[in-house]
Structure 1
Amino acid sequence: MTDEYPYALSPDGLVLEAQGQCAASLLPKADSVVAVLADADVSWHRITLPKAPASRLRAALVGVLEEQVLEDAELTHFAVAPDPAAGQPTWIAAIDRPWLRAELAALEQANVFVDRIVPSAWPDDPPGGHFAETDSQHNGGEEGITLTWSHPDGVACLRLHGGLARAVVPLPAPHGTRWSATPGAAAAAEQWLGTTVNVMPPAQRLLQAARTLWNLRQFDLARRNRGTRALRDAVRRFLSPEWRPVRWGLAGLVAAHVIGLNLWALHQRAAIDGKRDAVLAVVKSAFPRLSENEIKRAPLLVMQREADALRLAAGKPGDTDFEPMLQAAAMAWPADQPPVENLRYENGRLSLAATAWGDPQVEQFRSRLRPAGWQADKGSDGRVTIVRIGTTGGPR
């Protein structure tokens, strides 16, 4: 596994903000992490894409490429070019699978979660060549310079020293060819080409690679946003500078809702207080002999109690007295049933013997009483009990 990783930090993928090289645990925090593989880490194969469902595409690629890759195909990670079409020629990137999985695991252990994996170079048209110095460079000569030649027929990593590079790279190069070099390799590159090159530091090349449409995280290495990792990614995006206007808008919306709810609560409280004062005024005007403290404690109960006292004094029965309840029961009594054999009245509950009643008679009795405000239920003892709806013992 890699001890230190070169990195480039950019706010938009275009402007370089910071660069350096450090251990995975010391890498700067970023909203999105793109891992860029070295030129020699990826091999390229041109095939006709098999017509297979997504779940079986990798197995199909293994069958096609097992004779082309140097390592065991089962130990090779494959990635398909962007926007592939089944049955059409396409490029396949091949990478050492155990090595790549180990690198991703080491980064994730350091809380660095890679969103995309991209190559440094890929088959491209128009072609491009990038010169870079190696650790074995001496005195700026060709011995320590490598050339990555990207062209429509593939990618080749070549040393300038010797004749292989001259044999592979056509000179003059095709029209539109892009040449670049690291600062340490620029002089040797221009001498080898006989023309100027674009000086591109390693950090700038990392940013350039990150803008490609390639993403090598495919098949079993595809990013799976689940659980806490998905939540962490969502929080990270929400806290990014791009989402600052949204955060301000949400904060303003929450503040407006809180203020609005408080104002509405004050309005409702004032309305409730007004209704309570109106009830107290009615009770006080109807029963002036009652004290204000007595009325405030339970105005509705006090009013009911005083009204019941006046009714009793006038000799009029109440809704839950025996006579009105017996009259209601007589009006709803099923025509096919004999008169009641016995009954019992207690505290607004009238209980009638109905042992011979079936469910149809009970339902008929209940449906006739309900419009008048009565509830009838048959108990396990064979008796039908009538109560006023809304009183103790009946539904409210």
Structure 2
Amino acid sequence: MSTLVLTLPLGSPEPAAEYGYTLTADGHTATRHASAPAALLPDPGRAGETVAVVPAHALSWQRVTLPQGALSQAPRLRAILEGLLEERLLDDPALLHFALQPGASNGTPAWVAVCDRAWLRGALQALEAAGRPVDRVVPEAAPGPTASGQVECTVLGTPEDALAVLCGHGPHQAVAVLPLASAPALLPPAGGDADPAPVRAEPAVAALAERVLGRPVQIQTASQRMLDAARGDWDLAQFDLASSGRTRALRKLGSAANAFLRAPQWRAARWALGLAVAVQVVGLNAWAWQERQALAAKQAGVRGALTQTFAHVKVVVDAPVQMERELAQLRQAAGSMAPRDLEPLMAAAAGALPASRMPAQIEYASGELRLRGMALAPEELTALNQALAAQGFSARMQDEALLVRAEGQP
């Protein structure tokens, strides 16, 4: 499953506006990256995902503590956020879009992302009109702990307008966007025993960043930064911009499946799963082969017993049936009776039934004896079966008649 990650341009959306985009198959490596108008953006495919990245300088971050019960009042949650943030915002809250931190809980401080509502809605509608509806909206940089556990700095923009984006800044691990010239005061000093704070920069401003910050920087392209942002937990499409819960769940499931199938960090797990499946398949095949061999040996034994006992039988089709038929012929030739014949059935029933019980009607068919007019109580039927079992017979009531048959008979 492919993922199209694109950066939303600032300003009012126009048909000719360029979107920087990255196409990826595993969420970590770019297969293609460039910029194009919305109508010319590549198609991630029917099962693909489109992720929009909101630039860091288009967002502000506010920290709030939700009152008890706020999260259970989903229709009123935005109004609650407006009330909490009203005095902190310069603009009218009705003109702003809010997005609550993933995993937020009542009574615990949480981050709220704030941006221009009309701009974000217009950008998403322009993409939808161009046939590229957005599945998730993520921030370019988000507050919270960083991978290094330190303040991380990313320098981006142009030499004339270079910006420093600090992540994990301060006691609350906030995001700060400020001019590059102001960044050195907020970064820990270079040198010393501690590992230096990671600093990354786009190629266009890498030399400037090294000169201003006085330390080496790692080159990071805009494409790599977009992929990092797309792997985050945030989704700014909340409240009036949110998709249905089912849609979000399906998208999240698809993203997780795609990450497991393609992401490098899951390679060992994929190999382990494949090896486990292969071992199971080999084991099942070996067990099935052993069972087939055992069954074939039993069938061969039955056929051998038939042909050895009755040497005139040359073709074996169904050994048990043929064996029963040959035995019946031997009994008939010797004048003996089988347990299913009428006489053995009547003798067994006469010996087991109470002397006071006489049937009103006797029927015999297909090796079964039916005695009508024999309404037995449950305890009498139990005693009858105990007596018949010693002779190899059984009895039960069926259709107001006592049915007597040889045991083992279907």
Q: Same fold (TM over 0.5)?
A: yes
Aligned equivalents of 2:144, 2:254: Cα separation in 1 = 36
Q: How far has the Cα of 1:194 moved from its partner?
A: 10
2:69 is aligned with 1:52? yes
Contact 1:50 1:86 in 2 (8 A): yes
Structure 2 unaligned residues grouped into runs of 5+:
1-12, 190-196
Q: Partner letter of residue 347 of structure 1?
A: S
**TM-score between the two structures when normalised by the length of structure 2:** 0.64
Q: For 1:95-110, what aligned pairs fall within 5 Å after superposition?
A: 95-97=115-117, 99-100=119-120, 103=123, 106=127, 110=132
* 1:303 corresponding residue in structure 2: 323
Q: Which moved more, 1:91-100 or 1:310-319?
A: 91-100
C-alpha distance after superposition, 1:24-62 (max 9, x if no partner): 642789999864322342123344443335333734323
Q: For 1:1-396, what aligned pairs fall within 5 Å after superposition?
A: 1=13, 3-7=17-21, 19-22=33-36, 25-26=41-42, 35-56=52-73, 58-59=77-78, 60-66=80-86, 68-69=88-89, 70-73=91-94, 76-80=97-101, 86-87=106-107, 91-97=111-117, 99-100=119-120, 103=123, 106=127, 110=132, 113-114=135-136, 117-120=138-141, 132-133=157-158, 145=161, 147=163, 173-174=185-186, 176=188, 203=222, 206=225, 210=229, 215-217=234-236, 220=239, 221=242, 226-227=249-250, 230-231=253-254, 233-235=256-258, 237-288=260-311, 290-293=312-315, 296-334=316-354, 338-354=357-373, 356-358=375-377, 361-362=380-381, 365-366=384-385, 369=388, 372-380=391-399, 382-391=400-409, 396=410
Aligned equivalents of 2:308, 2:228: Cα separation in 1 = 87
Indicate how the Cα distance of structure 1 residues 97 and 286 shifts in structure 2: closer, same or farther if over 3 A, else same.
same
Q: Partner letter of residue 260 of structure 2?
A: R
Structure 1 unaligned residues grouped into runs of 5+:
134-139
How many positions carry a matched residue from both structures? Answer: 367
Aligned equivalents of 2:345, 2:360: Cα separation in 1 = 17
Indicate how the Cα distance of structure 1 residues 390 and 214 shifts in structure 2: closer, same or farther if over 3 A, else same.
closer
Q: Partner letter of residue 376 of structure 1?
A: A
Q: How far has the Cα of 1:350 moved from its partner?
A: 1.0
C-alpha distance after superposition, 1:166-194 (max 9, x if no partner): xxx69x83563889876666899999x79
Indicate how the Cα distance of structure 1 residues 216 and 197 shifts in structure 2: closer, same or farther if over 3 A, else same.
farther
Contact 1:49 1:87 in 2 (8 A): yes
Aligned equivalents of 1:197, 1:281: Cα separation in 2 = 87
Aligned equivalents of 2:284, 2:62: Cα separation in 1 = 64
Indicate how the Cα distance of structure 1 residues 109 and 358 shifts in structure 2: closer, same or farther if over 3 A, else same.
farther
Contact 2:360 2:374 in 1 (8 A): no
Identity of aligned residues (%): 28
* 1:136 corresponding residue in structure 2: none
What RMSD in Å do the two structures reach over aligned CA positions?
5.2
Contact 1:375 1:389 in 2 (8 A): yes
Q: Partner letter of residue 21 of structure 1?
A: S
- Is the partner of 1:297 in helix, strand or coil? coil
* 1:137 corresponding residue in structure 2: none
- The structure with the largest alpha-carbon Rg is 1
Q: Partner letter of residue 307 of structure 1?
A: L
Aligned equivalents of 2:330, 2:378: Cα separation in 1 = 41
- Is the partner of 1:54 in helix, strand or coil? coil
C-alpha distance after superposition, 1:202-247 (max 9, x if no partner): 6278369739977244755488654487357415532444444554
Indicate how the Cα distance of structure 1 residues 9 and 364 shifts in structure 2: closer, same or farther if over 3 A, else same.
same
